[in-house]
Structure 1
Amino acid sequence: MAEEEVTDTEQAVQPGELSILATVTDGIHVLTVAGEIDHQTGDTLHQALDVSDAAQPRVVVDLARVTFLDSSGINVLIIAHCALTEAGGWLRLAAPGPSVQRILQLVGIDTVIDCHETLQQALTN
């Protein structure tokens, strides 16, 4: 798979902060997210998910390094899912840790947005 770096934000993540590394793999936008997704950091994720300039945008959000997700983060993901679907694309979530996976299941987002155990599964399924 060809990989092209698009954006790179800070790699060291302090408590309460969010870091997003954006790459493109085989035409799929991959956002590797680390830290906490909440009301203070949700806008950063929202901006990273805006790929409205792409035709039929496909996006995978790698949640493996996300330590916290609240309702603000859930809303950002739902808004992105709706926008990407409307544009003829899709959003997939990959590799959520146990605490994030539990939240996704509790609110039922895993029944709305495709969730995969690994990044590789999200890229190929």
Structure 2
Amino acid sequence: MKDTDEAVRPGPLSIRTDCVDGIRVVTVHGEIDHTSRDTLHRALTPAPDGGRPRTVIDLGGVSFMDSSGVNVLIAAHQSATGADGWLRLADPQESVLRLVRLVGLDTVIPCHPTLQQALRG
């Protein structure tokens, strides 16, 4: 019998940041919980002189998120809107989308089924 736990278990949180048409795209893979919240928070913090922050968070690679992740997303949203910018969520997996809807996060932060839709707004 082959042990496949390592093959299906997501690795530590990884974050990549790109820019598409002047919009910052933060692509997240792994699990967002209390052990990774600070890493995500740092990735979502806009540069102090970055102007009007416009950010899409691609959640397609996130297999799990708890209330720690929700709190980070709310703080990032508040920071962006306070600087006359915005934050959008893209491509959440079903388990993450369930949490987003359960806590009403999708009524505060726009949540789109694809990255392209989130970029278009």
In the alignment, structure 1 residue 24 sits paired with structure 2 residue 19: yes
Shift of 1:17: 1.4
Partner of 1:79: 75
Contact 2:10 2:63 in 1 (8 A): no
Q: Matched residues in 1 for 2:26 and 2:37: separation?
A: 14
Unaligned runs of 5+ in 2: 1-8
Shift of 1:16: 5.7
Identity %: 59
Q: Matched residues in 1 for 2:45 and 2:101: separation?
A: 25
Q: Matched residues in 2 for 1:123 and 1:44: separation?
A: 23
Specify which structure has the bigger relative contact order, considering alpha-carbon pairs within 8 angstroms and separated by 6 or more residues. 2
Of 53, 59, 77 in structure 2, the residue corresponding to residue 57 of structure 1 is: 53
Q: Runs in 1 of length 4+ with deviation above 4 angstroms?
A: none
Partner of 1:46: 41
Q: Matched residues in 2 for 1:37 and 1:103: separation?
A: 12
Q: TM-score, normalised by structure 1?
A: 0.87
> What is the root-mean-square deviation in Å for CA atoms of aligned residues?
1.0
SS at match of 1:121: helix
Q: Determine which structure has more spread, i.e. the larger CA radius of gyration.
A: 2
Unaligned runs of 5+ in 1: 1-13
Q: TM-score, normalised by structure 2?
A: 0.89
